[in-house]
């Protein structure tokens, strides 16, 4: 189905390390679909990212921030979520119109 839609012929390519990827060397997309599709991946790219040799882990989790001390902030800002009212109060933009 994909090969018909893209007017393409996919093949499996095997790298020297044994990894197999399905790719095509050419494809096309019907004009009436251009406005609905941003990208088609992977198609012709044979790029292989370098393997990760290490994974960084945090030594310790950062402490939770202290709750706001300003009473007007404390009434509209929640430690677990941020709302537009919280930002407006925090940055003093209450009453601004866009």
How far is the CA of 46 from the CAs of 21, 28, 43, 50, 98, in angstroms? 8, 18, 8, 13, 46
Section 81-95 average pLDDT:
79
On whether the pTM is more than 0.75, the answer is no
Distances from the Cα of 63 to the Cα of 48, 58, 60, angstroms: 38, 13, 9
* 62 vs 93, more confident: 93
62 pLDDT more than 70:
no
pLDDT of residue 42: 67
Q: Is the pLDDT of residue 87 over 60?
A: yes
Task: Compute the mean pLDDT over every residue in the chain, rounded to the nearest whole number.
Answer: 77
The mean pLDDT of 58-67, rounded to a whole number, is: 66
Place 17 in a pLDDT band, splitting at 50, 70 and 90.
Answer: confident
37 DSSP β-pair partners = none
40-67 b/e with 16+ CB inside 10 Å = b?
eeebeeeeeeeeeeeeeeeeeeeeeeee
Examine residue 42 and say whether the peptide bond preceding it is cis (omega within 30 degrees of 0): yes
pLDDT for the residue numbered 54:
64
pLDDT at residue 35 tops 60: yes
Residue ranges covered by each domain of the chain: 2-36, 68-98
């Amino acid at each position: 189905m994909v090969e018909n839609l893209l007017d393409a012929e996919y093949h499996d390519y095997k790298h020297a390390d044994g990894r197999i990827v399905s790719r095509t060397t050419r494809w096309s997309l019907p004009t009436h679909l251009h406005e609905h599709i941003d990208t088609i991946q992977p198609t012709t790219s044979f790029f292989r990212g370098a393997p990760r040799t290490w994974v960084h882990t945090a030594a310790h989790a950062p402490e939770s921030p202290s709750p706001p001390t300003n009473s007007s902030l404390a009434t509209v800002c929640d430690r677990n979520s941020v709302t537009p009212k919280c930002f407006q109060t925090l940055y003093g933009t209450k009453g601004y119109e866009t």
